[in-house]
Amino acid sequence: MNVLSLLLIGLGLMFWFWGSWPLLGLASYLSKLHNLSVADNMGSALVLVGLLLKLPREWPLLTIALLMLVIWNTIMGYVLAACSQPRPRRGSQ
């Protein structure tokens, strides 16, 4: 169980770095943010699951953290998408 836990934590760290690397590219900022948020969410979830296997006594706290991570990232994705839409000009139809 300890090896699986360390493997999941290591995989989560790899997702964090993998998601951060495209920030140096030439893609649009929305594409960069999408890649970063998906990889960061997956990496954080894998780290939390790895910690859950390593510290089974802390399952209520880690489960709440995992749930909040998924909800927060989803809401922030919708907020960023709504804020990136161009606003219609006043008086034009």
- Give 4-16 pLDDT, tens digit per residue: 999 999 999 999 8
pTM of the model: 0.77
Question: Is the confidence at residue 91, as pLDDT, over 70?
Answer: no
Rounded Cα distance, 79 and 84, in Å? 9
CA angle 85, 91, 93 (to 5 degrees): 70
Average pLDDT over residues 38-53: 89
CA pair distance 15, 28, nearest whole angstrom: 20
